Amino acid sequence: MTNSEWDRIVGRLRDEVGDAAYRSWLRPITCQGVNDGSVRLGLPTRFMRDWVATHYAERIRSLWGAENPAIRAVEVVVEGTRSATALAPAPGSAPAPAPQCAAPAKVIPMPQPDTDDLGAQLDPRYTFRNFIVGKPNEFAQAAAQRVAEARAVSFNPLFLYGGVGLGKTHLMHAIAWHIREHNPERRVLYLSAEKFMYRFIRALRSQDTMSFKEQFRSVDVLMVDDVQFIAGKDATQEEFFHTFNALVDQGRQIVISADKSPSDLEGMEERLKSRLNSGLVADIHATTYELRLGILHSKAEQMGVVVPQKVMEFLAHKISSNVRELEGALNRVVAHSQLVGRAITLETTQEVLHDLLRASDRRITIEEIQKRVAEHFNIKLSEMSSARRSRQVARPRQVAMYLAKQLTSRSLPEIGRKFGGRDHTTVMHAVKKVEELRDSDHNFSEDVELLRRMLQG
Ligand code: ADP
Ligand code: MG
């Protein structure tokens, strides 16, 4: 093994994952040596070790295996006392002694050769335990759980669909993990539709479609992810259709996912669509604020980091596109804080995510401000323009006026009109009051700041 091997591997990875991920995760890696075909990589913290072990180690191993067949495993450790970058010697010289490490290593073993290369690797994090249930996904989750636990086939197929990053793959892996754990005798095969097609084409090329069919038709549970991929690919669809029918006829369970409902899948043959529609169709809806907040809590706990509640709320408000992005944002914030050794605050969060947040930047309206502020203080939106003066509604109203002044280009009279036709002096008074309170009351000030950031991005 040489220095340049590692350089080439890192170079490849950098192209694959992009500069930001490279700087956060790959550049800090030190290559510490080789022992008995296993490369040892060091990272400065436990968290970073876990992150690299789950996200990059497998890829590093396979790149390394391609560079140098003698390398069969990659282990990721927390750097020990030796801080210098220790690179193993060139081939021919004696292997470097294994350095001491501060925490137990995570070893990514070589996959078993060919016994089960039909399916895809399951992500160990994608379990039912780690899946947070909320209104948007409760039906899909319950259906998946049912399939995982059922001894007999209850609906066939289970068809899960929803937008990108909402948990379809997670649920499918969860089914597979559950069955592996509780009914290890049942053969579960999970793969993407893309991989299905690839295998099929390979079988055609090598004129080995018999064993291809055999392999698929001998499973108890077949899961095919992202089936929209085979839309418009007629030969693959045809084969898939036959596989599907053969399994259903034998009473085997099938689970399918796609980004659209069966009827909306364009470029799919009608007979396949109607087959896909014939079991239970469960959709996963876009996330809600509550679900996003729940997911953030669970992820932070899994990472073993403490993230201030205000930062979680901020993220849950701002990153509403999908769970993958939300996770990505949290990871970036946590990684940043670990790398620079500073606590996570609203300020650092906004700094770290400024590119993400700018994307959701737009012009802010007074209506939006009223809505957000009312939600935040838990009062009715109508109180923003009502005549009531009790502190409970007057204070939020003042905050909304203040923010309207700060965040829009409306004049005081215009703002007053939007708050139930109030006079411009009332707005002026509100602005002054809020400024005073911000100076004297730290919590209040933080609340207002949070609202401002949420509205502004
Ligand atoms: P999809 O396959 O629908 O595009 P994934 O299953 O890959 O989405 O989910 C994207 C990411 O979001 C994964 O890391 C997954 O663990 C996470 N995720 C999605 N939904 C949830 C949830 N309800 N609870 C916890 N994590 C979730
Ligand atoms: Mg997926």
Show the tokens assigned to 286: 């876009």
Angle at 28 between CA 27 and CA 29, to 5 degrees: 90
Each residue of 183-229: pLDDT tens digit? 999 999 999 999 999 999 988 988 888 888 888 888 999 999 999 99
Tell me how far the alpha carbon of residue 274 lies from the centroid of ligand 1, in angstroms. Answer: 27
Residue scoring higher pLDDT (225 or 43) = 225
Indicate if the pLDDT at residue 18 is higher than 90: no
Pairing type for strands 253-258 and 221-225 reads parallel
What are the residues whose beta carbons fall under 8 Å from the beta carbon of 381, sequence distance 6 or more?
Answer: 370, 371, 374
Positive or negative: CA dihedral 350, 352, 358, 359 = negative
Residue 191: name the closest of 156, 226, 243 by CA: 226
The pLDDT of residue 98: 35
The pLDDT of residue 114: 34
Percent of the chain exceeding pLDDT 70 equals 89
Once rounded to an integer, what is the mean pLDDT over residues 381-391? Answer: 94
Pocket residue to mutate for ligand 1, from 139, 323, 331, most atoms within 8 A of Cβ: 323
The pLDDT of residue 82: 41
140/407 Cα distance (integer angstroms): 40
Q: Helices marked H in 123-191 — which ranges?
A: 138-149, 168-182
* Residue 49: C-alpha distances to residues 20, 32, 170, 194 (Å): 17, 14, 23, 31
Each residue of 106-153: pLDDT tens digit? 454 443 333 346 778 899 999 999 999 998 999 999 999 999 999 888
Mean pLDDT over each residue of the chain, to the nearest integer: 85
Q: Which atom of ligand 1 is nearest to the CA of 326?
A: 12
**Burial (CB count within 10 angstroms: exposed 0-12, middle 13-18, buried 19+), residue 214:** exposed
What protein residues have CB closer than 5 angstroms to ion ligand 2?
168-169
The pLDDT of residue 241: 94
Contact 238, 200 (CB under 8 A): no
Pocket residue to mutate for ligand 1, from 126, 138, 192, 324, most atoms within 8 A of Cβ: 324
Contact 457, 361 (CB under 8 A): yes
The pLDDT of residue 91: 37
- Which ligand lies nearest the alpha carbon of 227? 2
416/430 Cα distance (integer angstroms): 10
Task: Return the SS3 of 219.
Answer: coil
Each residue of 173-191: pLDDT tens digit? 999 999 999 999 999 999 9
